[in-house]
Amino acid sequence: MGKVYVFDHPLIQHKLTFIRDKETGTKEFRELVDEVATLMAFEITRDLPLEDIDVETPVSNAKAKTLAGKKLGIVPILRAGLGMVDGILKLIPAAKVGHVGLYRDPETLKPIEYYVKLPSDVEERDFILVDPMLATGGSAVEAINSLKKRGAVSIKFMCLVACPEGVDAIKEAHPDVDIFIAALDEKLNEKGYIVPGLGDAGDRLYGTK
């Protein structure tokens, strides 16, 4: 069964509070999402495998660590996931970036896919799928389906705010996928918004309504 990790680092929690605040404007919201994405990327890459290489320092020869293992791929779920990409790339700039475009039908809340583009070597990469919100879980489950259908075998899901309904949906549909979140909120409301949440992440990132 996939594991759920809640990042309780004080900096992440502090910044998330201002992301939630409805008085936070677009510019600051965008900057904070970017910063939290960087901090989360630091935590999520904690278990990347290392190998020893030889290095010559100004003083002597040494064995030192370098990253080993599979290459990484970042996949934002459009559109709100885009707001987290640059923050992650600050730490892992060589990662390739795929895109999955989905939106929730406002009536049914079911995801509708409109775009998919992934790196060509899908099987050889460890993917981090990113979206600020995990609400019903429909979008994340569909995006993971989409990645797996194209050959992805290693996927982590990372989001800012989740609720139990969304976590359960991923666990049930994709028990091999670990979930990394900054906060696990109480519930979904009747309109499919996370409570207390932060509102519509895409609209707040891009100033639309």
Q: Which residues are catalytic?
A: 104, 108, 200, 203
CB of 68 to ligand PRP, least distance (A): 33
What are the tokens at 129?
């799928």
Q: Count helices and strands (H / E) in the chain.
A: 6, 13
Cβ distance to ligand URA smaller for residue 135 or 183: 135
Q: Using CB under 6 A, which of 130, 133, 152, 183 touches ligand PRP?
A: 133
CB of 159 to ligand PRP, least distance (A): 8
Candidates 20-28, 39-47, 60-68, 73-81: pick the segment binding ligand PRP (CB under 6 A): 73-81
Measured CA to CA, the distance from residue 131 to residue 181 in angstroms comes to 10
Cβ distance to ligand URA smaller for residue 67 or 208: 208
Q: Does 174 bind ligand PRP (CB under 6 A)?
A: no
Q: What is the DSSP letter of 192?
A: S
Q: Which residues bind ligand URA (CB under 6 A)?
A: 80, 133, 135, 192-194, 197, 200-202
Three-state DSSP class for residue 21: coil
Output helix, strand, coil percentages for the chain, rounded to the nearest 5. 35, 35, 35
What's the first-to-final CA gap in the chain, in angstroms? 38
Q: Does 201 bind ligand PRP (CB under 6 A)?
A: yes
Total count of residues recorded for the chain: 209
Q: Using CB under 6 A, which of 41, 75, 129, 134 touches ligand PRP?
A: 134
Q: Does 192 bind ligand PRP (CB under 6 A)?
A: yes
CB of 103 to ligand URA, least distance (A): 10
Tokens 């795929």 correspond to 98
Three-state DSSP class for residue 13: helix
Q: Using CB under 6 A, which of 44, 72, 77, 129 touches ligand PRP?
A: 77
113 binds, among ligand PRP, ligand URA, none (CB under 5 to 8 A by kind): none
Residues 6+ apart with CB under 8 A from 120: none
- Tell me the C-alpha to C-alpha distance, in Å, between residue 99 and each of 1, 81, 142, 160: 26, 9, 13, 18
Cβ distance to ligand PRP smaller for residue 52 or 203: 203
What are the tokens at 17?
């509070």
Q: Which residues bind ligand PRP (CB under 6 A)?
A: 77, 79-80, 103-104, 109, 111, 131-140, 166, 192, 200-202
